[in-house]
Amino acid sequence: MSRKRRNHSASFKAKVALAALRGDKTISELAQQFELHPNQVTQWKKQLSDAAAEVFSSGTEPATERAEIQRMQQKIGQLALENDFLSGALDRWGGSSGSK
């Protein structure tokens, strides 16, 4: 007999994973309580613990990345300007040396 595949919401997964991390009940007890396979509880627990650091770091990294992108864009603009200037100077210098 096969079961119909169920899709669980993110909040349900978080609830189960937090309960597993808490450690008040065994994985088997939680699986029975939430009508899940114990492997599913273990998987969600691992996903939550692996991604926990991202919750606290996400507030600072994007601002740092944006600042770095802006700095690099300014540098690209500066280098493009210098490249155009030097290219023009080289054309003038090369043109005058070709006439000698």
Query: For residue 98, what pLDDT is reported?
Result: 46
Query: For residue 95, what pLDDT is reported?
Result: 59
Instruction: Report, as ranges of residue numbers, the positions in the chain whose pLDDT lies below 70.
Output: 1-3, 58-62, 95-100
Query: For residue 99, what pLDDT is reported?
Result: 47
Query: For residue 66, what pLDDT is reported?
Result: 82
Cβ atoms < 10 Å from Cβ of 28 = 10
Query: For residue 100, what pLDDT is reported?
Result: 44
